[in-house]
Structure 1
Amino acid sequence: MTSHTLRVMWFVPPAIAVAASWRACAGLSVETSRTQSSDEQFAALLDGSVDAVVTSMDNVFHWNHRPGPKDFVIVAQVENTTPLSIVASPTIKSIGDLSGAKILVDAPENGFVIALRAMLNQAGLNLPDYTLAPVGGVKERFVSLLKGDGDATLLGPPYDALAVKEGMRKVAEVQASYPQFPGQGLVVRKSSLFSNPGIQMWLKNLSESIALFPANLERLRNSLSSEGLPEAAINAMVKSVPASLTPDERGVNLLIEHRRLLGLIGSDATYDQVVYLG
Structure 2
Amino acid sequence: MTPTLRVLWFVPPPVAVVAEGLAMVAEVTLLSRRNTSSDEQFEALASGETDAVVTAIDNVMDWNLRGGPQDFRVVAQLERTTPLTVVGQRDRTSLEDLRGATILVDAPRNGFIVALRAMLADADVGPEAYVLEPVGGVKERHDAIVSGRGHATLLGPPFDAMAIAAGLARLATVQGRYPAFPGQGLVVSSAALERMRPALSAWLRNLENARQSMGIAPEAARQALTLAGFPAPAVDAMLGATPASLVPDRAGIELLIEQRRRAGLPGADTTYEGLVESSLLGR
TM-score of the pair, normalised by structure 2: 0.95
Partner of residue 9, structure 1: 8
Partner of residue 188, structure 1: 188
> Which amino acid counterpart does residue 219 of structure 1 have in structure 2?
A
My pick for the range that moved more, 254-263 or 133-142, is: 254-263
> Which amino acid counterpart does residue 231 of structure 2 have in structure 1?
P
Distance in 2 between residues matched to 1:97 and 1:25, nearest whole Å: 46
My pick for the range that moved more, 13-22 or 115-124, is: 13-22
Partner of residue 275, structure 2: 274
Partner of residue 213, structure 2: 212
Q: Is the CA contact (8 Å cut-off) linking 2:8 and 2:54 kept in structure 1?
A: yes
Partner of residue 240, structure 1: 241
Q: Is the CA contact (8 Å cut-off) linking 2:85 and 2:156 kept in structure 1?
A: yes
Determine helix, strand or coil for the equivalent of 2:170: strand
The answer on 1:178 being equivalent to 2:178 is yes
Partner of residue 53, structure 2: 53
CA separation of 1:203 and 1:93: change in aligned 2, threshold 3 A: same
Q: Is the CA contact (8 Å cut-off) linking 1:162 and 1:230 kept in structure 2?
A: no
Structure 1 unpaired stretches of 5+: none
Equivalent residues in 2 for 1:67-86, closer than 5 Å: 67-86=67-86
Determine helix, strand or coil for the equivalent of 1:212: helix
Partner of residue 123, structure 1: 123
Distance in 2 between residues matched to 1:262 and 1:212, nearest whole Å: 38
TM-score of the pair, normalised by structure 1: 0.97
Partner of residue 199, structure 1: 200
Deviations 1:156-201 (A, max 9, x none): 0000000000000000000010000000000011111111121111
Distance in 2 between residues matched to 1:7 and 1:237, nearest whole Å: 23
My pick for the range that moved more, 21-30 or 76-85, is: 21-30
Query: Following TM superposition, by how much is the alpha carbon of 1:143 offset from its aligned partner in structure 2, in angstroms?
Result: 0.4
Determine helix, strand or coil for the equivalent of 1:111: coil
Partner of residue 132, structure 2: 132
Distance in 1 between residues matched to 2:90 and 2:106, nearest whole Å: 22
Structure 2 unpaired stretches of 5+: none
Distance in 1 between residues matched to 2:81 and 2:208, nearest whole Å: 17
Q: Is the CA contact (8 Å cut-off) linking 1:103 and 1:150 kept in structure 2?
A: yes
Query: Following TM superposition, by how much is the alpha carbon of 1:25 offset from its aligned partner in structure 2, in angstroms?
Result: 4.1
Query: Following TM superposition, by how much is the alpha carbon of 1:3 offset from its aligned partner in structure 2, in angstroms?
Result: 2.3
Determine helix, strand or coil for the equivalent of 2:154: strand
> Which amino acid counterpart does residue 170 of structure 2 have in structure 1?
K
Query: Following TM superposition, by how much is the alpha carbon of 1:205 offset from its aligned partner in structure 2, in angstroms?
Result: 1.6
Distance in 2 between residues matched to 1:11 and 1:232, nearest whole Å: 19
Distance in 2 between residues matched to 1:203 and 1:222, nearest whole Å: 22
Query: Following TM superposition, by how much is the alpha carbon of 1:209 offset from its aligned partner in structure 2, in angstroms?
Result: 2.1
My pick for the range that moved more, 258-267 or 155-164, is: 258-267
Q: Is the CA contact (8 Å cut-off) linking 2:103 and 2:153 kept in structure 1?
A: yes
Distance in 2 between residues matched to 1:145 and 1:211, nearest whole Å: 36
Deviations 1:36-73 (A, max 9, x none): 00000001111111111000000000000000010100
Partner of residue 20, structure 1: 19
Distance in 2 between residues matched to 1:220 and 1:13, nearest whole Å: 14
Q: Name the count of aligned residue pairs.
A: 277
Deviations 1:107-134 (A, max 9, x none): 0000000000000000111222000000
> Which amino acid counterpart does residue 107 of structure 1 have in structure 2?
A
Distance in 2 between residues matched to 1:63 and 1:47, nearest whole Å: 13
Determine helix, strand or coil for the equivalent of 1:49: coil
> Which amino acid counterpart does residue 244 of structure 1 have in structure 2?
S
The answer on 1:36 being equivalent to 2:31 is no
Determine helix, strand or coil for the equivalent of 2:216: coil
The answer on 1:96 being equivalent to 2:104 is no
Distance in 2 between residues matched to 1:227 and 1:30, nearest whole Å: 16
Deviations 1:12-43 (A, max 9, x none): 11111112212344442011100100000001
Q: Identity of aligned pairs, percent?
A: 50
Q: Is the CA contact (8 Å cut-off) linking 1:57 and 1:111 kept in structure 2?
A: yes
Distance in 1 between residues matched to 2:202 and 2:230, nearest whole Å: 29
Deviations 1:64-93 (A, max 9, x none): 000001010000000000000100001101
| Alpha-carbon RMSD | 1.1
